[in-house]
Amino acid sequence: MLELKSITKKFANKVVLNSVNLRLQRSQILFVLGRSGVGKSVLLKTIVGLIPQDRGEVWINGEKTDPLNEEKMVTVRQKCGLVFQMPALLDSLTLQENLEFGLEGNQKSGLRKYLDWVQLSEGVLSRYPSEVSFGTQKKVSVVRTLLREPQFILFDEPTTGLDPVSREVTNQMIRNVVKESETGCVVVSHDIQSAIELANSIMLLDEGRVVFEGTPEAFRNSDQGLIRSFCKGMVVLDA
């Protein structure tokens, strides 16, 4: 289980996360929604210790993490993968080299399957990141994380900037990884439609706090102002 206990993070007197709690079991999908700049990416980065929290604790499978101990964080990051908002591929390596970078021999076996999941052909892997589209880079960065087979995966806006087809592919990929490997997924997204389709629970952040947490139905039926305007966005998207 992945558990955050009152995580608080300030940047230069600006409170970005204010006592945020979160619980996620394996095989569950949690969508985190919120306006841009509310601190969603910061939240994911604190979980894997890229940004140390000011206060609060992160527990993974009953073990408390220590973001200041880089060596211990290595094992935490094996259990809990993060797919960045931007693809963050190493641009001096080909896509193939990016996928294999730092990987152990036995971890390469799933490559075919994962490429299939995101609908990437192997032919493209000999290219460099700068030679392929943003969408392809993003898919490669997803596969890079899948190959390590973590127990939890944090996706930071996996469908933002993708076309509707790739968005559907990405959603299906998340379903697959949950079903096949019992992975627990935290998905940060602006895509209400996908959230309602996929999520077991939805969490809404505003001004550093969790202002809603519950099932997709409860989310849709809520009469909170912010949630209504989020859902209105969805209706417009549908039209």
Partner 1 sequence: MRALGNWAIREWGQLAYPTGLFWASIVGLLKSLTRASLRGKEITKQIYECAVMSLPVIAFSLGIVSLMSVLEFSWHMKVVLKQDALVPGFSLILTIREVAPVVTAMLLASRVGASISAEMGVMKITEQLDQLKLLAVSEVDYLLIPRWIGCIVANVTLTLISIAIAGIVTVFIAARWMGYQPAEFYNSLLLFTTGHDLEGALLKALCFGTLIPFVSASYGLRCAQGSQGVGDAATQAVARSSLLIIISDLLINSIWWMP
**Least CB distance to ligand ADP at residue 77 (A):** 18
Of 28, 41, 98, 136, which lies in the binding site for Mg ion, with binding defined by CB under 5 A? 41
Name the segment binding partner 1 (CB under 8 A); options: 89-97, 169-177, 209-217, 227-235: 89-97
Name the segment binding partner 1 (CB under 8 A); options: 1-9, 25-33, 43-51, 231-239: 43-51
d(CA 122, CA 150): 23
Amino acid at 103: L
**Least CB distance to ligand ADP at residue 53 (A):** 13
Binding flag, residue 159, ligand ADP (CB under 6 A):
no
Residues, the chain, total? 239
Name the segment binding ligand ADP (CB under 6 A); options: 32-40, 98-106, 119-127, 136-144: 32-40
Task: Give 97 or 168: the residue with its C-beta nearer to partner 1.
Answer: 97
Asked if residues 188 and 41 have their Cβ atoms less than 8 Å apart, the reply is yes
Please give the order of strands across the beta sheet that includes 201-206: 80-83, 152-156, 184-188, 29-34, 201-206, 209-214
Q: Name the residue with tokens 């955050």.
A: 4
Q: How far is CA 35 from CA 19, 24, 100, 109, 189, in A?
A: 18, 22, 35, 39, 10
Binding flag, residue 41, ligand ADP (CB under 6 A):
yes
Of 33, 39, 76, 201, which lies in the binding site for ligand ADP, with binding defined by CB under 6 A? 39
